Amino acid sequence: MKTDTYKNVPGQEDSGQIASEFHEYIREQARTALRALVEEEVRELCGGYHRRQNGATCRRAGSAPSHVRIGGVRESMSRPRVRSREGDGGSEVALKSWKLAKDPREWEVAMMRAILCGVSTRKVKALRESEVKGESSSQLSRLWQRKAAELVVEVQQSDLSGIDLLVLMLDAVVLSGGLVATVALAIDCEGRKHILGFRVGSSENEEVCRDLLEELSQRGLKAPADRSLLAVLDGSKALKKALLRLYPKAVVQRCLVHKERNIRGYLPWKHWKRLAELFKALRRCEGGDAAKEAAEAIEAFLRDKNAQARESFEEAGEELLALFRLNGPNTLHLSLLSTNCIENVFKNLRRHIGRVCRWREETRQADLWLASGLTLAAKGFRKIQGHQDISKLIRALEAHHRNAKESSESNEV
């Protein structure tokens, strides 16, 4: 869990590239939304293509080159032309939606906010000019709240029974001094990521985590019956305790990125390079024996450097090498040896909530912003790196499940 700033560490994506991709995605969604909005108005005035609408007072008259500003960038775009049917040639009719788009202040505030709160471009016809005219900030605020409230229902109440759960990740993000959001993310057996839900509390405590997991269970999320569940955590004792209460047989893998960051905090900068090299070698290992040797090398390096750094490394215990001991493919290590999948969601979420100047704990404000931000982040989801080898991990988790079951039965006898 992090509070405000985000530092790049080994194994995490370059934030500059992510920011560029994020803003390009927003601009593309804005272009698509504008075209759909303008076409909807033209259709209302003139009817569909090649189909005259009874009683229509206007007709299509081609298009003209023009431009709009999206995200502060001038974008070339064809402007549809509409003429009145009255008179000889008919006078040109100004499109209200295009007039809205030509005003950067109104367009930016109305459409960008709508897109940021997750409004699908397929449903953009709901954003009529009368809704997004933006004559006052309170009108826009009500529009955003209405759309975001729909997303809260979608994120927090959707059916999860269709997810073939393979990996569960839990992490928390600090919104303010008194608000912390715990978020759950799943990876299914095809490598797809799913935002499962979130809970907002005063801290990352066991009660909030337990309530979140129980709610996910009630919505249909189930641990696999024939294989072990892999859970990736950042080291929070509250998260681990809540997880094992509901999934006692889960295989818990500690995030190596968090552990390296913690250890680095105890060491002078001159040792950081060597520490990064040792953790990089650990991440590349395949199999429990090779990982054990790499872990012993890290322990030997820390032995004469700093006692607290060594204790921090030893504290993780067997959980630091849990994924290695399954003897699965190392092609999945980049995605599953850390909570990067959910941390990258938090990167986009922080950009989204960065506009909030004051969090009101007594209202649903946090739920609205979280639901809209998480939905936006999920739009860019791709399969995890190495998903082609997920079948090998599934077999490894099935073997672990059988071995644990046989061991339990022999102990009972």
Query: 10 Å Cβ neighbour count for 230?
Result: 25
Q: Number of C-alpha atoms within 13 angstroms, CB side, residue 237?
A: 1
- The reported pLDDT for the residue numbered 29 is 67
Decide if pLDDT at 330 tops 80.
yes
- Dihedral over alpha carbons 146, 147, 150, 154 (to 10 degrees): -160
Decide if pLDDT at 271 tops 80.
yes
- The reported pLDDT for the residue numbered 109 is 53
Q: Which of 175, 248, 173 is nearest to 213 (CA)?
A: 248
Using DSSP, state whether 327 is helix, strand or coil: coil
Q: Determine the average pLDDT of the residues in 320-330.
A: 92
Query: 10 Å Cβ neighbour count for 351?
Result: 18
Q: Which of 143, 155, 170 is nearest to 374 (CA)?
A: 155
DSSP secondary-structure letter at 269?
G
- The reported pLDDT for the residue numbered 154 is 74
CA distance 47 to 58: 9
CA distances from residue 369 to 183, 201, 294, 350, 376 in whole angstroms, order as listed: 13, 15, 42, 10, 11
CA quadruple 300, 305, 310, 312: dihedral positive or negative? Answer: negative
- Write down the mean pLDDT value for the chain: 81
Q: Are 351 and 22 in contact (CB under 8 A)?
A: yes
Decide if pLDDT at 15 tops 70.
no
Tens of pLDDT along 137-179? 455 456 556 666 777 777 777 889 999 999 999 999 888 878 8
CA distances from residue 191 to 163, 181, 243, 403 in whole angstroms, order as listed: 11, 25, 21, 25
- Which is higher by pLDDT, 321 or 13? 321
State the pLDDT confidence band at 404, using cuts at 50, 70 and 90.
confident
Tens of pLDDT along 69-116? 766 677 788 889 998 888 776 788 888 878 777 665 555 555 555 555
CA distance 391 to 396: 9
Report the amino acid identity of residue 229.
L
Q: Which of 341, 372, 380, 296 is nearest to 24 (CA)?
A: 380
Query: 10 Å Cβ neighbour count for 343?
Result: 22
- The reported pLDDT for the residue numbered 116 is 52
Phi, psi of 271 (to 5 degrees): -95, -5
Q: Could you identify the residue written with the tokens 């950081």?
A: 272
22-31, 78-87, 374-383: lowest mean pLDDT where? 22-31
- Report the percent of the chain where pLDDT is more than 90: 40
Phi, psi of 188 (to 5 degrees): -90, -175
Q: Determine the average pLDDT of the residues in 46-69.
A: 79
Tell me the pTM: 0.68
Q: Are 291 and 318 in contact (CB under 8 A)?
A: no
- The reported pLDDT for the residue numbered 228 is 93
State the pLDDT confidence band at 4, using cuts at 50, 70 and 90.
very low
- The reported pLDDT for the residue numbered 21 is 57
- Which is higher by pLDDT, 9 or 25? 25
Burial (Cβ within 10 Å: 0-12, 13-18, ≥19) of residue 26: middle
CA distances from residue 291 to 36, 140, 288, 323 in whole angstroms, order as listed: 54, 55, 5, 10
CA distance 256 to 10: 10
Tens of pLDDT along 187-197? 999 999 999 99
Q: Determine the average pLDDT of the residues in 53-78.
A: 79
In order, the DSSP letters of 328-348 are: --GGGHHHHSSSHHHHHHHHH
Q: Determine the average pLDDT of the residues in 120-127.
A: 44
Region of 97 please: left (phi>0), alpha (psi -120 to 50) or beta. Answer: alpha
Tens of pLDDT along 226-242? 999 999 998 888 899 99
Decide if pLDDT at 327 tops 50.
yes
Q: Are 278 and 301 in contact (CB under 8 A)?
A: yes
